[in-house]
């Protein structure tokens, strides 16, 4: 990559953005982190911060906060992508979600923006078990979710970050939609069992009702958009619509995706699931 302009990484401190920033920096590509704590500041809820963050950048990695599945996300992404193109920033890579209505709306708006786009449509992140809301129940020894035996092709965020890096720095990815999944389907019960094995601990999975889950979320005093998102994921998205594998990782990286058991072993070795 010969362009010396920085790449703006929205959600640059998040699961995928942080890893992408590390990869770009390691290869000498200048990076601008897009976050509320960065300079210039970037805040999805304050459109006045978007322009200054876009000044002088060559490309943008778009990770919407809190999640692209949240109602209204598509319109915000639409407004941002159009502003980016107005600023002369044509190269946009979007982190999207599989089987999510709002995410697919955002994808269509990106395609219509006039940008040179690439879409990374991702399955459930493996790292939600180690860098998200599931750490606490795993440490407590019991994960209670309204999730049945439906399979999910958990994808490792290292694979997502690597795909984003390649899409942003190598030719041949403009106009491509890569559906990123892991190499096999696991139910949430099976995923928790893999983590228990890797951590050498007794961790139970308990299937609970949606009502019980909603009540439990309310007790945690989560922000409204996160409570909505979790409810949407477990009531709508995990209905079997995503119980299939895709070849996006192979297409963009030329190799097989990381298996969940490898993720579990590597993560357990850090001690994060040890209590």
Dist CA 234 CA 242 (whole Å): 12
Structure tokens at 3: 């362009």
Q: Give the pLDDT band (50/70/90) at residue 1.
A: very low
**Predicted confidence (pLDDT) at residue 168 exceeds the cutoff of 80:** yes
**Predicted confidence (pLDDT) at residue 2 exceeds the cutoff of 60:** no
SS3 assignment, position 137: helix
CATH (one of 2.40.30.30, 3.40.50.720, 3.40.430.10, 3.30.2020.30) for 7-125+155-182+244-257: 3.40.50.720
Dist CA 101 CA 12 (whole Å): 24
- Angstrom CA distances, 217 to 88, 89, 147, 189, 235, stand at 43, 40, 15, 20, 14
Dist CA 33 CA 63 (whole Å): 12
Dist CA 124 CA 157 (whole Å): 9
pLDDT in tens, 237-246: 889 999 999 9
Average pLDDT over residues 25-33: 97
Average pLDDT over residues 204-226: 87
Mean pLDDT is lowest, of 73-77, 203-207, 223-227, for 223-227
Specify the residue for token string 């319109």: 75
pLDDT in the model for residue 220: 80
Buried b (16+ CB within 10 A) or exposed e, 28-57: ebebbbbbeebeeebbbeeeebbeebbeeb
Q: Give the pLDDT band (50/70/90) at residue 3.
A: low
Residues β-bridged to residue 10: 34
Dist CA 185 CA 243 (whole Å): 7
CA-based nearest residue to 63, from 112, 127, 2, 19:
19
pTM for the whole structure:
0.96
């Amino acid at each position: 990559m010969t362009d010396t302009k920085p790449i703006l990484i929205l959600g640059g401190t998040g699961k995928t953005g942080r890893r992408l920033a590390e990869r770009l920096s390691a290869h000498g590509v200048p990076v601008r982190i897009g976050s509320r704590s960065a300079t210039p500041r970037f805040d999805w809820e304050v459109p006045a911060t978007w322009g200054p963050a876009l000044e002088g950048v060559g490309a943008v990695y778009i990770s919407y906060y809190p999640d692209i599945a949240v109602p209204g996300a598509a319109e915000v992404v639409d407004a941002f992508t159009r502003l980016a193109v107005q600023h002369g920033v044509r190269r946009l890579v979007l982190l999207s979600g599989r089987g999510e209505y709002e995410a697919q709306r955002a994808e269509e708006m990106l395609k219509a923006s006039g940008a040179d786009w690439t879409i990374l449509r991702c399955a459930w992140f493996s790292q939600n078990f180690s860098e998200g809301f599931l750490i606490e129940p795993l440490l407590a020894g019991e994960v209670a979710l309204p999730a049945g035996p439906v399979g999910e092709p958990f994808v490792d965020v290292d694979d997502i970050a690597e795909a984003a890096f390649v899409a942003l720095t190598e030719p041949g990815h403009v106009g491509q939609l890569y559906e990123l999944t892991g190499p096999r389907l696991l139910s949430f019960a099976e995923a928790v069992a893999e983590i228990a094995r890797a951590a050498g601990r007794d961790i139970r999975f308990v299937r609970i009702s949606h009502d019980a889950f909603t009540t439990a979320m309310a007790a945690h005093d989560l922000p409204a958009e996160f409570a909505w998102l979790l409810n949407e994921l477990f009531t709508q998205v995990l209905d079997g619509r995503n119980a299939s594998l895709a070849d996006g990782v192979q297409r963009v990286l030329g190799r097989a995706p990381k298996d969940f058991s490898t993720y579990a072993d590597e993560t357990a070795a850090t001690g994060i699931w040890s209590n």
